[in-house]
Amino acid sequence: MQSSHETVNLLTAVRLFPSARSGRGLPGAQAVEAWATAAWLLAVEGRAYLEDLEGGADQPLLRRVVRIKLLELLYDIDTRLSGTVTIAEEHRLALALEYGLHDLASLDGESLVEVFALAPDDPDHADGLVPQLWERLCAAFPGELPDPLKASGQREILRALRNWSKLCTAAGTEAAFLEPFLKDA
């Protein structure tokens, strides 16, 4: 197990969105859907998990479950950005720990255990580096992420959905995948 200083260094050295930054990516229509979905999952679902993590300060088991759910979400986003078929939720944790993340962040499974404080001997109060990783991901995201938790959040979400719909039109793809997002907004 790494020391906390080594884990912090690990996190600061992690390359975020390495495929996109290297110029490798998905074809236009597929990229629009993948990136809009990734933005939604980070902005809405991810922020909700982070809020649960903060709100469960006195519930260590809840916090461990939330960290696992957040890791599963990040694995889902990673597979979408790579253009592969999304994996059923019940398999995401195992696959993330076995294969790591590649398109969202360059982290192997062992590093994910460190970052998400998932080792059996991690203290119950440890949240690992989840909040720091989260902040780095949101800051490095190539585009604006609406924040539904702010007072103007609903307006930001609706504006983002309109923009993503326009991107779909420009890319020549259907925007039907945005419908469930609109219902959640």
> Facing residues of 107 across strands?
101
Tell me, yes or no, if the pTM score tops 0.75: yes
What's the confidence (pLDDT) of residue 18? 93
Q: Which residues of the chain have pLDDT under 70?
A: 1-8, 124-125, 185
Contact, 128 vs 116, CB < 8 A?
yes
**DSSP letter at 104?**
S
Residue 12: count other Cβ atoms within 10 Å of its Cβ: 10
pLDDT digits over 15-29, tens only?
999 988 888 888 888
| Spans of all domains in the chain | 4-178
3-state helix vs strand vs coil in the chain, percent to 5: 65, 0, 30
**Is the Cβ–Cβ distance between 19 and 103 less than 8 Å?**
yes
Question: What 3-state class would DSSP assign to 107?
Answer: strand
